Amino acid sequence: MIKRTLWLNRDFVFDLPVEAFPNIVERLRGTPARLEDRLRTVPAALPTKRREEGWSIQENVGHLLDLEPLWAGRVDDLLALKDTLRPADLSNRKTNDADHNSVSLRDLLSSFRQARLKLVDRFDAFDEAAVALSALHPRLNKPMRMIDLALFTAEHDDHHLAGITELMQTFED
């Protein structure tokens, strides 16, 4: 199995044309369904199991939910024409303190779906000018347009979906 790159070690090239925005939005719209489908047959004891210092499946799902306000806030930053996007909490304190393992997986998935659809509804309303708005990403230290934010969010989703798959494969063996 190929080992995934740590999220904070990833570098991004933001060069998609704004015309690709609808495709990225569809990817974001599909994340809740992909997550639900992936976890539909997971054994009952598996979602809260951890491997070493990492998060459980439920904590990964909870983390995706925890970051929805960040993505929405960055949309607000772009629309407000701010020079720099708000930073993420790189310590992931919200996720680490949330005790997502004490909540039902079904509730986490439902909450994530609701939050994500709010973000997608906002993206659906944007015209080309909004999609091209740009501000500096504070950690990457490079300009990020609205389309790049959408791509970054989709990549983050997929990063955690891949992590969930790894956990499932580890514990199913």
Domain-embedded: residue 165: yes
3-state SS record for 106-143: HHHHHHHHHHHHHHHHHHHCCCHHHHCCEEEECCCCEE
Domain-embedded: residue 124: yes
Domain-embedded: residue 23: yes
Residue type (1 letter), 15: D
- How much is the pTM? 0.94
Number of domains in the chain: 1
Specify whether the CB–CB gap between 100 and 61 falls below 8 A: yes
**Three-state DSSP class for residue 17:** coil
| CA 134/CA 111 separation, integer angstroms | 29
Domain-embedded: residue 2: no
Domain-embedded: residue 29: yes
Looking at 9-82, list the stretches that DSSP marks H as alpha helix, in order from N- to C-terminal side.
21-39, 57-79
Within a 13 Å sphere around the CA of 38, how many CA atoms are in the beta-carbon half? 25
| CA 143/CA 154 separation, integer angstroms | 18
What CATH number is associated with residue 73? 1.20.120.450
Distances in Å between the alpha carbon of 102 and those of 56, 108, 148?
A: 12, 10, 34
Domain-embedded: residue 1: no
Question: Count of CB atoms within 10 A of residue 50's CB?
Answer: 14
**What per-residue confidence (pLDDT) applies to 125?**
97
Higher-confidence position of 40 and 10: 40
**What per-residue confidence (pLDDT) applies to 52?**
79
Residues in the chain: 173
pLDDT digits (tens, 9 = 90+) for 87-116: 999 999 999 999 999 999 999 999 999 999
Q: Given pLDDT bands bounded at 50, 70 and 90, which one contains residue 173? A: low
Q: Which structural domain, as residue segments, surrounds residue 87?
A: 7-172
Q: CB under 8 Å to 60, separation ≥6 — which residues?
A: 160, 163, 164, 167
Domain-embedded: residue 88: yes
